[in-house]
Amino acid sequence: MDTKTIRDSYLPYGRQWIDEDDIQSVVNVLKGDYLTTGPAVVEFEQAVASYVGAQYAVAFSNGTAALHGACFAAGIGEGDEVITTPMTFAASSNCVLYQGGKPVFADIDPKTYNIDPKKVKELINENTKAIIPVHFTGQPVAIDEIHQLAKNYNLVVIEDAAHALGATYKEKKIGSLSGMTMFSFHPVKHITSGEGGVITTNNEEFYQKLLQFRSHGITRESDKLIENHGPWYYEMQFLGFNYRMTDIQAALGTSQLKKIDKFVDLRKKYVSIYNKAFKELKEVQIPYQEQYGSSSWHLYIIRLNLDKLLGDRKEIFEALLNENIGVNVHYIPVHLLPYYTQLGYQRGICPNSEKLYEEIITLPLFPAMTEEDVMDVIAAVNKVINNYRK
């Protein structure tokens, strides 16, 4: 058994890439008149909308807040059901709970790991109001099939594209295809604003609701006011939240967005190296990609063929950590989290997701990696698999 450690330093699964231009963009804001929501936010919104080909973009303090805003704009309320995938971060369904709605979990396609439209159709009833498909790892979902269901049953589609900035579906950028689309700018995502999120839309009614919702439900626009006491006057017309993005965040986001194509290209390059290295490794299954889309590769996930290995996933995971490879698992199916089981969700409702969870490991993938880092990951995986091979 090989005992020599592959790396001397820890390699995380994801990390931001900040350069001098990014730093200067933030410094410029700090030296200016606006720190909180101001002209830099508008500039960032316009840049994101332009990049994805949408008419409007509304920036939020984080991606979860953006999803909450989207559920509000879609009219989700008490008793409404929203269908989403369990293979995601909790925010994709928590946003429904915030509005008093009920998340309903549709199982995944075992090949793509994305939500299965056939399973979605089985769950639609008179209470269903929306679908929140998640572009898991950056691979686009079967959007045409989701849209057809939405059209047939008069549902709103809110794409959770936290993983998919820069991804395309049938050569069209994710972000301009559905009623609303959410992007996240957490540091491990494609670009970062520290924390931050955006909803893109082509629907002006959604756009106006989102703007007002992120700022306490308050408006100062004269044509929307019920009364008008003078130039100082504003009205709170519904219960919104303080979900505003700051100019500091937005300036960083705008600077980062200028590098998005470079970042995505590097992710694709490293994925190609991984795929080539692991393709013939019988103990490991590499990610399957549908031809209709181009993933922007937020995550690179391997699936272990456990029947060919002596250890379980936990042992393999810990062995990789011991090599200083910062592996992770994405995700624990949401319906298995304690809060959701207390709400009555049970193991067994999404068997494909539950089985996938037991067999996957996320490997490091981010633009600031070097090819040497990638080769270290490959060497560590090969070493661990060799040590645990039956």
pLDDT digits (tens, 9 = 90+) for 190-201: 999 999 999 999
pLDDT at 2: 57
pLDDT tens for the 390 residues of the chain, in order: 556 788 999 999 999 999 999 999 999 999 999 999 899 999 999 999 999 999 999 999 999 999 999 999 999 999 999 999 999 999 999 999 999 999 999 999 999 999 999 999 999 999 999 999 999 999 999 999 999 999 999 999 999 999 999 999 999 999 999 999 999 999 999 999 999 999 999 999 999 999 999 999 999 998 899 999 999 899 999 999 999 999 999 999 999 999 999 999 999 999 999 999 999 999 999 999 999 999 999 999 999 999 999 989 999 999 999 999 999 999 999 999 999 999 999 999 999 999 999 999 999 999 999 999 999 999 999 999 999 999
In terms of DSSP H, where are the helices of the chain? 20-30, 39-52, 63-73, 91-98, 117-123, 143-153, 204-213, 247-257, 260-278, 313-322, 338-342, 351-357, 371-388
Tokens representing 254 are 């705008």
pLDDT at 72: 98
CATH number for region 260-388: 3.90.1150.10
pLDDT at 263: 98
Domains of the chain, by residue range, sit at 20-257, 260-388
Fold assignment, 20-257: Aspartate Aminotransferase; domain 2 (3.40.640)
pLDDT at 337: 98
Query: Smallest Cα–Cα separation from 115: which of 126, 104, 100, 125?
Result: 104
pLDDT digits (tens, 9 = 90+) for 169-210: 999 999 999 999 999 999 999 999 999 999 999 999 999 999
**Rounded to whole angstroms, how far apart are CA atoms 295 and 69?**
26
pLDDT at 246: 98
